[in-house]
Structure 1
Amino acid sequence: MSSLANKIQKYINELLANSKEGYIELQRSKLAEQFVCVPSQINYVLGTRFTIKQGYVVESQQGGGGYLRIIKLPLTNAQLLTLIDETIDKSVSEHGAMELLKRLYNEDLLTFREMLIMKSLIQRETLDEGLKRDEIRARLIKAMLITLLRQEFQQN
């Protein structure tokens, strides 16, 4: 992941978190100047990290100074069920599953710890191809326990 893209994403998320309206308006060129990058870098961040699937709508107005309006969509229970159904279906890639977990975490539906536990279960290393049910179960239990025992979660 690009460090610059992470910084831009973090900045936009902070602005959204502080917005009483649930949306922000920015100018692409001023944002590019602020981060000393080309406007296409801003487009990349918006196109990959602020999508409908991730809970955002990005509106763009051209000309006359133009602006970007980034809207954070709240997630209702019905929408959550639809999102899970559409994302997971009969199979899901590791990336797709991680995007879902991140969205649930960002919506405060999962704690950070719960997200990490679930991440440990879906990682490619845990779910190796060709394993039998008992082997998969053993890997899942190990992955959960290792995550639970990680130092940063100890209450001492």
Structure 2
Amino acid sequence: MRMSDLVANYIMRALDESDGNAEIQRNVLAGELGCVPSQINYVITSRFTPEQGYIVESKRGGGGYIRITRVTTDRRSAIMHIVNSIGDKLSSSSAAIMLRNMKDSGIISAYDSALMSAALSDKAYGDTPPQKRDSLRASIFKNLLITHMIINE
């Protein structure tokens, strides 16, 4: 398992164990996991964003901490928030992270996540020029999410 996955899993467990609120000290966590503090920053800035349903606060200094809060909203609002946050382009890795977060928070099922993942993977865009894949993926993902929301109302 990659270090970024270990860090993300650690934070997700902390969030699950504390009702959606986790407070970590970057240097302490880095020491526990055997990584450098910048890897903790990378995971937080890439996987725990407002677009993915998290609020991150930090206090720097000796007693500093990073507080991560999972935002809970109803399913429809969460999906619309995600649709509005996607933008014009979406990488395969960003789509995978968003799907994982949506599945983990119960917005979509594991089955729906697997189907969407297949539709958003680079393999699905075989003959599409690489420079057009991210914009096509963003459009398809938005349509999949809106359709999912309508069907499951």
TM-score normalised by length of structure 1: 0.69
Which structure is richer in relative contact order (CA contacts within 8 A, separation 6 or more)?
A: 2
Which residue of the partner structure matches residue 60 of structure 1?
58
After TM superposition, the structure 1 stretch with the greater mean CA deviation from structure 2, 119-128 or 92-101, is 92-101
Q: Deviations over 1:96-148 (max 9, x none)?
A: 44343223212212221221122112222223346xxxxxxxxxxxxxxxxxx
Structure 1 residue runs of 4 or more that deviate by more than 4 Å after TM superposition:
none
Structure-to-structure mapping, 1:4-153, within 5 angstroms:
4-20=3-19, 22-76=20-74, 77-87=76-86, 92-129=90-127
Give the 3 Å change call, closer, same or farther, for CA 79–118 of structure 1 in structure 2: closer
**Bigger Cα Rg:** 1
Give the 3 Å change call, closer, same or farther, for CA 38–100 of structure 1 in structure 2: closer
Instruction: Answer whether contact 2:8 2:43 (CA < 8 A) is retained.
Output: yes
Q: Displacement, 1:65?
A: 1.4
Q: Deviations over 1:67-112 (max 9, x none)?
A: 11111111332242132143266x6543444343223212212221
Which residue of the partner structure matches residue 138 of structure 2?
none
- Secondary structure at the residue paired with 2:15? helix
- Runs of 5+ in structure 2 lacking a partner? 129-153
- Secondary structure at the residue paired with 2:123? coil
Instruction: Answer whether contact 1:87 1:100 (CA < 8 A) is retained.
Output: no
Equivalent-residue separation in structure 2 for 1:85 and 1:110 (angstroms): 17
Instruction: Answer whether contact 1:25 1:70 (CA < 8 A) is retained.
Output: yes
Q: Displacement, 1:40?
A: 1.4
TM-score normalised by length of structure 2: 0.70
Structure holding more helix per residue: 2
- RMSD (CA atoms): 2.2
- Runs of 5+ in structure 1 lacking a partner? 131-156
Q: Percent identity?
A: 31
Give the 3 Å change call, closer, same or farther, for CA 75–128 of structure 1 in structure 2: farther
